[in-house]
Amino acid sequence: MTRRDLLLAAGASLAVTPAVAGAQAAPAKPEEAPPVRRTPAGRVRTLNGWSLPHRMNGGVKEFHLVAEEIEHEFAPGSKAICWGYNGSTPGPTIEATEGDRVRIYVSNHLREPTTIHWHGLILPSGMDGVGGLSQPKIQPGETYAYEFTLRQHGSHMYHPHADEMVQMAMGMMGLFVIHPRGGDHVDRDYALLLHNFALHPGTRRPDPAVMQDFDLWTFNSKVFPAIEPIVARSGERVRIRVGNLSMWNHPIHLHGVQFEVTGGDGGRWPKAQWRREVTEIVGVGQMRDIEFVAVPGDWAFHCHMSHHTMGPMGHDIPNTLGVDQRGVEERIRKMLPGYMAMGQHGMSEHQEHTDSGHMKGPENTLAMMAGKGPFGNIEMGGMFTVVKVRDDIAPGDFRDPGWYPNPPGTVARRVSSDPGFGTPVRRSGS
């Protein structure tokens, strides 16, 4: 049984000895706690992820995070040794309610010190998680306890503030959702983190020294087509909480509706401050909540930086657009067997070459474009998934309903295969 299985089990033990240097009062010992009470999986659906169970101990909600090295699959064909929490990157989503008292144990199974910063939370300075400033660092093998009262609501994050560039680049991050007292009405509540990894071709560990030229752009550390769809029933109100702990800003775009931006790091905004958009830039270190009423169809949801919806590719390759490459392949293959010239007419053919087996990439490297739809190759990768809305999905059903059966007459259609069709007007003299 894995550590994650143990934590999810109803009888999981939190028998650890807190080692909180400088704490004013030690929390109740876990071994003295009442029997563990099974907790629900959470109200938020974290794409490809999960919510961390808690137990009640004297009126305090106790959670337990374990910082550790893990093997992570970005998509079939690409695995890496990453760092995360409780067996996953991102770590499990922590869910609680405004006004709750929480105690979060953090065990360090890494080989270097770490901390956790509760990004955007209002709490005592000594619980803020900045190593060397707010607290001593959590040394390998140690467990610390963070304890505070939740004085706000909204979408938040957690991540280290010790060797931050390396630890975050390796995948250490998670979501912290605080529900408002009295609740708020949405029918489906999704959450995801934007991140990027530099996994060089043929390697198995992300490179933390890369600042810009990343090759894996991810939703919750997954790459399309491995990212789960966002499923809803027609007419349901859907919220998507989007956090950005990557090294780049991302214009997040949703097809099919005009959504409302309803909140961020500061919680749910008053309705007078909501604004209607179809694309919302989520800056580095920011959270944004978007909400919409679901309409039937399969709708793309993605970053609008075009190269963020592609898999690994070289950014310094020569521009071969318009270049007649006939004869080049044969000569280069004498030195590089398997080489295939491409790009004279664009990169659309890339997925066809990859799917047919004619263009196998380096070991442990994903294709630049992937994913198939009902009408052919989608030619997307990276930060991309599909919002799937149907009339007949039951409340609480998150299963992939397959592709949308478009009603007759509602699909764009071919009207001619003649390049000279019609009499289009062109501007002359340009």
Find out whether 73 and 362 touch, Cβ atoms under 8 Å: no
The boundaries of the domain holding residue 142 are 3-17+35-185
% of residues, the chain, pLDDT over 90: 59
Question: Is pLDDT of 267 > 60?
Answer: yes
Q: Looking at the domain assignment, is residue 251 inside a domain?
A: no
Question: Is pLDDT of 369 > 90?
Answer: no
% of residues, the chain, pLDDT over 70: 78
Q: Looking at the domain assignment, is residue 155 inside a domain?
A: yes
pLDDT in tens, 88-120: 999 999 999 999 999 999 999 999 999 999 999
Q: Looking at the domain assignment, is residue 310 inside a domain?
A: no
Residue keyed to tokens 């390998």: 140
Is residue 308 helix, strand or coil? Answer: helix
pLDDT in tens, 357-368: 555 556 766 666
Q: Looking at the domain assignment, is residue 45 inside a domain?
A: yes
pLDDT the model gives residue 243 = 97
Q: Looking at the domain assignment, is residue 301 inside a domain?
A: no
Q: Which two tokens stand for residue 286?
A: 């920011």
pLDDT the model gives residue 133 = 95
Q: What's the domain count of the chain? A: 1
pLDDT in tens, 277-325: 999 999 999 999 999 999 999 999 999 988 888 777 555 555 566 667 6
| CATH number of the domain to which 77 belongs | 2.60.40.420
Q: Which two tokens stand for residue 267?
A: 């919680």
- Please provide the size of the chain in residues: 430
User: Of 41-50, 309-318, 350-359, where does mean pLDDT reach its minimum?
Assistant: 350-359
Q: What percent helix, strand, coil does the chain show, rounded to 5?
A: 10, 35, 55
Q: Looking at the domain assignment, is residue 65 inside a domain?
A: yes
State how far the Cα of 367 lies from the Cα of 226, in Å rounded to an integer: 13
Q: Looking at the domain assignment, is residue 61 inside a domain?
A: yes
Q: Looking at the domain assignment, is residue 384 inside a domain?
A: no
pLDDT the model gives residue 265 = 86
| Phi, psi angle pair for 40, to nearest 5° | -65, 160
Question: Is pLDDT of 61 > 70?
Answer: yes
pLDDT the model gives residue 212 = 76
